[in-house]
């Protein structure tokens, strides 16, 4: 997959480009990343990327022209069939389902805004979709773009090894993850659950599912409601 991040802070892409699972995906050429700075697409002497908002009020708004040129460069990098996503608190909520759909695409162009946001006309003319990573306001869209890149990259074929396959992930089944334990067998007066030491793989699988269900019920009952609705839908579809 080819991904361009359009941002005034291109250095921030280094966090996913150089480190961890996403860094390995880049080195293995399963993921190609580039950062494009809209400041490089300004034509004026001051290289200005922002201006005062029409109608007044605090803060500045990102000007449409440099962003349009930067997005065009992003589209060139990401290739035909890439989708252009603007990260903002006004967007649709990003979740595992959307990550799976995005992982099917050949490329993405992620627009990270700063200041009060970007000129609305740029969004209407050059953006395919607006995504939010949660109901809080970040100082810029970069961290949200990195979240999307990370969540999508781990779903690309071959990015995760067999032992940490994405199919086992929390949310892949619509449930929270079960608890995990490693050595030592005793820690702070707490034992590792006996079943995990039993070598009985069927019993371990059952225990993990039970834990996942219990935690989901306690912490995120809304996820169980969503699963139930999905089950009813597929039952309907089968009729």
List residues near ligand ADE by CB under 6 A.
Answer: 87-89, 132-134, 136-138, 141, 144
Q: Which is nearer to ligand ADE, 132 or 216 (CB)?
A: 132
Q: Which is nearer to ligand ADE, 3 or 212 (CB)?
A: 3
Q: Find out whether 147 is annotated in a ligand binding site.
A: no
List the catalytic residues: 89, 116, 154, 169
Coil/strand/helix, residue 18: coil
Please, what is the end-to-end C-alpha distance for the chain in angstroms?
38
Q: Rounded to the nearest whole angstrom, what is the least distance from the CB of residue 198 to ligand ADE in the complex? A: 44
Q: Rounded to the nearest whole angstrom, what is the least distance from the CB of residue 111 to ligand ADE in the complex? A: 10
Q: Which is nearer to ligand ADE, 52 or 93 (CB)?
A: 93
Q: Rounded to the nearest whole angstrom, what is the least distance from the CB of residue 131 to ligand ADE in the complex? A: 6
Q: Find out whether 51 is annotated in a ligand binding site.
A: no
Indicate the residue whose CB is closest to ligand ADE.
Answer: 144
Q: Find out whether 134 is annotated in a ligand binding site.
A: yes
Q: Rounded to the nearest whole angstrom, what is the least distance from the CB of residue 123 to ligand ADE in the complex? A: 13
Q: Find out whether 137 is annotated in a ligand binding site.
A: yes
Euclidean distance between CA atoms 113 and 132, whole angstroms: 12
Q: Rounded to the nearest whole angstrom, what is the least distance from the CB of residue 112 to ligand ADE in the complex? A: 7
CA-based nearest residue to 110, from 15, 16, 36: 36
Euclidean distance between CA atoms 22 and 24, whole angstroms: 5
Q: Find out whether 135 is annotated in a ligand binding site.
A: yes
C-beta separation of 148 from 131 below 8 A: yes
Q: Find out whether 189 is annotated in a ligand binding site.
A: no
Indicate the annotated binding residues for S-adenosyl-L-methionine: 113, 133-138
Indicate the annotated binding residues: 113, 133-138
């Amino acid at each position: 997959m080819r991904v361009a991040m359009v941002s005034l802070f291109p250095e921030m892409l280094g966090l996913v480009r150089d480190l961890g699972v996403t860094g390995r995906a880049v080195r293995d050429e399963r993921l190609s990343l580039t950062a494009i700075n809209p400041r490089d697409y300004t034509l004026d002497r001051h290289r200005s990327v922002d201006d005062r908002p029409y109608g007044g009020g605090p803060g500045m708004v990102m000007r449409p022209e440099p962003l349009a040129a930067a997005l065009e460069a992003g589209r060139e990098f990401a290739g035909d069939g890439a989708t252009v996503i603007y990260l903002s608190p006004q967007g649709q909520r990003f979740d595992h389902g959307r990550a799976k759909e995005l992982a099917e695409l050949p490329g993405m162009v992620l627009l990270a805004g700063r200041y009060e946001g970007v000129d609305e006309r740029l969004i209407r003319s050059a953006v395919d979709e607006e995504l939010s990573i949660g109901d809080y306001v970040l100082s810029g869209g970069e961290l949200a773009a990195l979240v999307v890149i990370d969540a999508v990259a781990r779903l690309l074929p071959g990015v995760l090894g067999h032992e940490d396959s994405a199919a086992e992930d929390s949310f892949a089944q619509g449930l929270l993850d079960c608890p995990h334990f490693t050595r030592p067998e005793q820690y702070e007066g707490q034992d590792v659950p006996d079943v995990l030491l039993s070598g009985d793989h069927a019993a371990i699988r059952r225990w993990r599912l039970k834990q996942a269900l219990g935690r989901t019920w306690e912490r995120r009952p809304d996820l169980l409601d969503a699963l139930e609705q999905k089950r009813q839908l597929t039952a309907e579809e089968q009729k």
